[in-house]
Structure 1
Amino acid sequence: MLGSKRGLAVGSSRTGTRVPAVERSRSRSKGKEKRRDKKSKEEKKEKEFAWMDSEEEDEASASASSSEEKPVPLEEVQSLGQMAKLAPGLQKRLKRGDLRSKELCEVVAALGRSKFFDGGLFEVLANELRRAFNRRSLGPSEVITTIAQLGDLNAYNQRVFEAACDALERELNRVPEALRQKLESTLKQVKHTPSEGFLRALSQRSGGGDRRQACPMFWRGQCKWGPKCKLSHDDNSFENTMDSGSWKPPSMSGGKSVGFKQSADLFKADRCGALW
C-alpha cells in the first residue's frame, strides 16, 4: 500500500514534470510572437514617421543650397539680404576705384531699392561719387536722380551735394521742369544750402520755348490740328516730356485712332479735313 502510494507520487511527479515543459514551450512561442509583434510595430512606426525625416532632410538640403547660391547682379537687387551679400565686394571695389561713374549710379539705385545702409560702404561710395561729379562724367538727370536717392536713404554728405550742385550749375538752363522741381525738393529734404550762384540759376525760369506737353500724334505725322493743337509741336517740349516721364504714346488712347478723330472733328467744324 505504501509502495503504491510512493509509485503514485513518483508517477505524479513525473507527469508533473512534463506539464511545465509544455507550458515553457508555449510561453517561449508566445514570447517570440510578442517580440515579432513589437518589432513589426516598431517598423511600422518608423515607416509612418519616415516622411517627416525626409522633409527635414529636404529642408536642410534646401537651406544649404540657398546659402550656396551666387549673389544676384547689382541691377537685379531688390531685397536687403541680396544687397548684404554684395556689400563687402562692392566696398573693396570702391576702395580700389574699380567702378565707373555709371556703375556708381547703379550702386546707389540698388541701395535705394533694398533700403540698405552701411556706414563704411557709404563713406567710400561718397568719395567716388564726389570724384565723378567733379569730373562731369554724369549728365544732369543722372546727378539729380542719384542725390535724390541718397536723400531718400538719409545718406546726406555735404561734400557730395556740393560737388553735385557745382556740376549742375551750368546745366540748369537745360534741365526740364520736372527734374528741376525734384532737385529743389531733394535739397529741401536734406537741408542743404547751395551757393548763391546756384540758387540764382535754379530760380531762373527760361521764358522762351514751349512748356506744353508734346503732342504724340504730331510725332507720328497724324496731328491735323496744326497751330490750333492744344499740345506742343516743339522739339524741346518733346525732350522735356520724355525726361519727366509723362510721355504717353498714342497706343494708350484706348486703341482708337486719335488722328482720325481729330480730322473728323475738324471736318465737322469747317468741312475741311486739313488746315493747310
Structure 2
Amino acid sequence: MHSIKYQRKLIGVEKKLGFLYVPAEARAMLPNENAEIKVLFQGALKPKIKKYNADHNRIFGLTPFYKKHNLSTGDIVSVEVSEEDVEITLEEVEKIEDSQEKEDENFIDVSGLSSQSKGNIGEDRIKEIILLYSQGLLNVYKPVIDDRGIDLIVLKEKIYNPIYIQVKTRFNVHKRNRLILTINGNTFKPHHSYYVIGLVFNQEKMEMDENILFIPSKEIPDLASQLSDGSWRVTVSLTNGKTTGKYKKYFVTKEELVNKLLERIDLVNEIVN
C-alpha cells in the first residue's frame, strides 16, 4: 500500500489548538472534503477517529497525544499518510520540506469558503455553460435534495430523457498538480445517463479552466481506485493543466461538453422511441 512519510516540526498554534497541519505532498492521500479519518497514535493498538479539515489541511483532536508525550512548540513528530489511515509517532523518518511559501500575489485566497460554497460555485458554472453553449436547447434543474450524488439534471427541450450529473469542483489543483475526485460509494450507482464532471478552478484567472473532466459513470469502476469505505477516487496528474494519462480523452472544452450532452440525449431518445 502506497504511503507518504515525513516529519513535522510543531508550531505554536498547532500545540495550542491541538491540530496537525498536513503538507502538500501528503494531501493527495486524504479526502478532498471535510471528513472523519482514522489516526493511529504511537503505542495505540487501534486507530482513533479524528476530524480532517480539507479547507485548511488540518487534522484535529491531537491535544491528548501532545499532552501524553509532553510535546511543545518546535518538537518533531513523524507522520505516515496512506489512504487507509494516518500514523503519528515520534520516530524519525524522511523529512518533507513544506515551507508554505506565500502564494503568488495574483492568486486569490479562497480558504475562507466552505465546501458547500465551493460546490455551489462549480454547479452554477456548469449550469451557465450548458445554458449558454446550448443556445436554449438544454434546460438545467437542481434537485431539492442534493445528498444523493446528483447535483444537476439536464433535459433537452420537449425531450424527456434526462442526463444526471455529479459536479466535483477543486480549488487546490494548482498546489498539487493533481485533480483528485472522491465519489461517495454509498450514493454512487453507475448508469448510462449518469456522468461525473470534474472542474478545476484557476485562482489566478478567477475562472474555471477551459478543459473539463467528463466521465460516464459506467466507466468509473474501471478507471478509479476503490477505497476501503466503498468510495471511488479519481486521481489525475496534471502538468500545466494538461494530462497525458488514461484520463486524457475524458477532458473536453465547454463547447464539447454541451455537444456530448446533446448527442447523448438524442441517442437515448432514438433508442426509447
TM-score, normalization by structure 1: 0.23
The structure number with the bigger radius of gyration is: 1
Higher relative contact order (CA 8 A, sep 6+): 2
TM-score by length of 2: 0.23
Higher strand content, 1 or 2:
2
**Bigger proportion of residues as helix:** 1
